[in-house]
Amino acid sequence: TVKQERIECHLYGKLIAIFLCSSTMFKMRQLLLQKKQKELSEYKAIGMIQDHLFLLYQSIQNTQEITKLLTRLFHLLQQNGRKSHRYEKKTVFDIMGVIYKYSGCRKQKKAA
């Protein structure tokens, strides 16, 4: 049997990790939309941020190092975290009328 304290500690650790990942993802999504007019896939972003979570923990001790890591993560999300527009489905930003850069087939199909 596992002690209740151990389960609670593990659960709190997971909750903290989820909070850090989601808050980082939402901030990066906001920055990408404001600075680059690009829409970010939350699913892809969470995966990439989870991969970098341990590096974030290690770099917290050094302000310059964490700035470098967050900048690198921002560029990674910018390159690989773009929201895919499959099956002509509208995204939240499409519905809200937010203008962003999208170089997909939807524009090409309409032009043809």
List the chain domain ranges: 4-84
Q: H or E segment at 66?
A: helix 63-80
pLDDT score recorded for residue 98: 64
Give the pair of three-digit tokens for residue 86: 């499959």
For 66-110, the pLDDT digits (tens) are 889 999 999 999 988 877 767 777 777 677 776 665 544 444 444
| DSSP SS3 for 77 | helix
pLDDT score recorded for residue 63: 81
Query: Averaged over 4-11, what is the pLDDT?
Result: 95
Query: Averaged over 44-65, what is the pLDDT?
Result: 88
Cα 23 to Cα 50, 51, 111, distances in angstroms: 12, 15, 38
Count of beta carbons in the 10 Å neighbourhood of residue 69: 17
Between residues 105 and 31, which one has the greater pLDDT? 31
pLDDT higher than threshold 90 for residue 24: yes
Cα 91 to Cα 8, 44, 60, distances in angstroms: 37, 15, 35
pLDDT score recorded for residue 56: 86
| DSSP SS3 for 32 | helix
Query: Averaged over 50-78, what is the pLDDT?
Result: 88
**Rounded Cα gap, residues 27 and 83, in angstroms:** 16
